[in-house]
Structure 1
C-alpha cells in the first residue's frame, strides 16, 4: 500500500504567534498548522475542496517555509500551513550525477552542508542562504554565480486545487530570475513536499563572481592554477555572507529586499554615460542586469533609517528591522527607496519578499 493510500487526518489549525517564524521579526498572529507527514495531504486537499464548495468558511491557505522571504501583516487573513517535512536521501545515481532528494522542511543551508559531507558537491555557492529546501525553488534562489534551476532535477509537489501530486522537471517550473511557477501561480496552490537535485560527478568550481575569485581563501589556488575544493568554496561563501550580511537571528531582515533590475541595452548605455561607475552585467538575451544595491547606495539609502527600519550599513540591498517594526513600516521604507531610485536613475525596483496581509 502506498504512503498516500493510508490517508491521515488533515493538519489542525490553531492561533499562534508568528514573530519567530519570519526572519524580519515582525509581530503576527494567525491560524497555523504544521505539516509533518505527507500522508495527511489527501485529507487536507479534501478539506480545502469542501471549503471551496461552501462546506467550510475557513480562510484560504498560505504555505510557509522558513519565513525568510516574507513581509507579514499583524493579522493575516490566510491560514498558514508550516511545512515541517524532514529527510534527505540519495534518490538515484547515474554515470554523471548523484540525484539527491530532500524533504521540503529541511534547512537549506543544512542540506548544502550535508551534501558536501557525503561527497556530493555542486550547491556550495548557495551556502548560508536562509530558508528551507521547499522554499528554494519558489524563489529560484541564486548567489555567487549559481542559480538553483541549474542544479535542479525535479520538484515533487501537490497541486492543492486539483488534489493531486505532480513531479515537475525544470522546464515545467517556469523559472526565471528570482521567480517560478510556484511563486506566480497563486499563493496556496502548490505545496512542495520534496526537491531533487542533480549534483555533478565531474564537478568544476563556479568562480564567476568577483568576490569569490578575489577571496583570500581561494586566491592562492586560483593563482597556482589549481582547482579549489567544494569545501573551500563553501567556506569562502559563508565567510563573505557573514561579513556582508546581517544574521537574521541577531537583526531582523529578509536578505536582499529588491531584485537586481534588468533593463534594455540602450537604457543601460545611457545610464553608463551618466554614471560611469554603474555596476552593469550583460545578459544572454541582450539586456543588462543592474546592481540594485549600488543604485540604492547612490540614491542615499545605505545605512539610512526611516522609523524602526532602514537599509543596512554594509549592504544597501538589505532592509533591516532595528526593533519594533511592523509590516507597514517595512513597506513605507521600500516605497521611499523605490521612489528615490526611480527619480535618480529612471529604474524601477521590484521587491523580492512575498507580502502576506
Structure 2
C-alpha cells in the first residue's frame, strides 16, 4: 500500500493499492500496453486539491505531472498559451501575468494543476476558466487516442464540465490552451478587489496589480494547505429561482446575492448561510470549519476523511433546516 497523505491538500491519511507518477501521455499509454496494473481501476490525481479521501483506494493512483508551458500562436491582440496538465495552476497564471497577458489574473493563487482546472471550470472574483479557454487535449482511456475538445464540447457550467458528468472517468487531460489578451482588460468589480486597490491608491490597475490584490485577499481569508489541511471551498454557492431568491431576501435582511448571467436565477454565497447557522470556527476533534472563511472545511492534523464528510453532511442538513437551501459539495468525495 502507498500513502497518499502528501498527495492531497486535506492531508488525509489514506493509501492506494498501487501508485505511479507520469510526466507524459506516452508513459501512461506504455503502461497500458504492457498490461501492468490491468486488474485495478485507475484513479488520476493532479494537485489533490479538490478531493476528500474517505477510505483507502483499491486502485492504481496515477499522479499526473505532465510539464511545460508554451506559446502556441500569437497575433497583435492575443496570445494562445498551452500548459501541461501537471503544471501548478498558480505558476501558470503568474507566467501569464508576468508577461501582461490578460485573462487569468483573477484566478491567482487557486490551488491545483492546469489539467484539473477545466474539469471544475474553476472560477473566482467574477472570472471562470471558460472565459479564456481555447481547447484541451485529452487521452481517451478506451481507444488510447488523443482527442481535442473546444469550449462547446467541454460543456462548462458552474464548477462543472463534461469531464465531471458524461465524460467522468473516460479521459486523461494532458494539456490546456488559453486565449489571452495582450491589451489589458481587467475585472475589478467583484468581491473585495476594488477595496484593496483603493486602499493602495490605485485607480487604473495593471494586470499585475489586480493579481497581487487577489493574492492578498485570498491569503487573508483562506488557510494555506501547507499549514492547515483543506481543499478550498468545500461547497458550491447555491443558485435559486427568482421566486426562491425573493423569499430568502425578505426573510434575511442584508443577505448578499448576485444575478446569474443570462438567467433570472440568483446566486447566494454558501459561506454566508454556514456562518449565520453558527458553524464558522466550529471544531470537533481535528475536523472543523475555518475560523475566517466558513466555506472552507479543515483538517487540523489527524482528521479522517469520513469525519470531515460527516461534518459536511451535518452542515448541509443544518442549512436546509434553517434556510430551506440545498448546498451542493464542490469537492470530489473518494
Verify same fold: TM over 0.5. Answer: yes
Q: Which residue of 1 aligns with 2:313?
A: 335
- Give the Cα–Cα distance (whole angstroms) in 2 for the partners of residues 107 and 296 of structure 1: 30
2:30 to 31, 43, 50: 43
- Give the Cα–Cα distance (whole angstroms) in 2 for the partners of residues 346 and 87 of structure 1: 46
- Give the Cα–Cα distance (whole angstroms) in 2 for the partners of residues 185 and 130 of structure 1: 25
- RMSD after superposition: 1.6
Q: Which residue of 2 aligns with 1:23?
A: 9
Structure-2-length-normalised TM-score: 0.95
Q: Is the 8 A contact 1:262 1:288 kept in 2?
A: yes
CA displacement at 1:244 relative to structure 2: 0.4
1:58 to 39, 51, 70: 39
Q: Which residue of 2 aligns with 1:302?
A: 280
Change (3 A) 1:218 1:44: farther
- Give the Cα–Cα distance (whole angstroms) in 2 for the partners of residues 109 and 217 of structure 1: 25
Change (3 A) 1:133 1:72: same
Please give the residue correspondences for 1:310-329 in structure 2 after superposition, counting only pairs within 5 Å.
310-329=288-307
Gaps of 5+ in 2: none
Change (3 A) 1:58 1:128: same
CA displacement at 1:90 relative to structure 2: 0.8
Are residue 32 (structure 1) and residue 19 (structure 2) matched? Answer: yes
Can you list the C-alpha shifts for 1:130-181, whole angstroms capped at 9, x where unaligned? 0111111111110011001101111111111232111111111010000111
Q: In structure 1, the residue corresponding to 2:71 is in which secondary structure?
A: strand
Q: Which residue of 2 aligns with 1:104?
A: 85
Q: Which residue of 2 aligns with 1:150?
A: 131
- Give the Cα–Cα distance (whole angstroms) in 1 for the partners of residues 167 and 70 of structure 2: 30
- Give the Cα–Cα distance (whole angstroms) in 2 for the partners of residues 190 and 252 of structure 1: 28
CA displacement at 1:36 relative to structure 2: 1.2
1:135 to 98, 116, 123: 116
Q: How many residues align?
A: 332
Gaps of 5+ in 1: 1-14
Q: Which residue of 2 aligns with 1:268?
A: 245
Are residue 279 (structure 1) and residue 256 (structure 2) matched? Answer: yes
Q: Which residue of 2 aligns with 1:10?
A: none
Q: Which residue of 2 aligns with 1:126?
A: 107
Q: In structure 1, the residue corresponding to 2:57 is in which secondary structure?
A: coil
Can you list the C-alpha shifts for 1:265-286, whole angstroms capped at 9, x where unaligned? 0001011111022111111211
Can you list the C-alpha shifts for 1:309-341, whole angstroms capped at 9, x where unaligned? 111110000001112111110110000000000
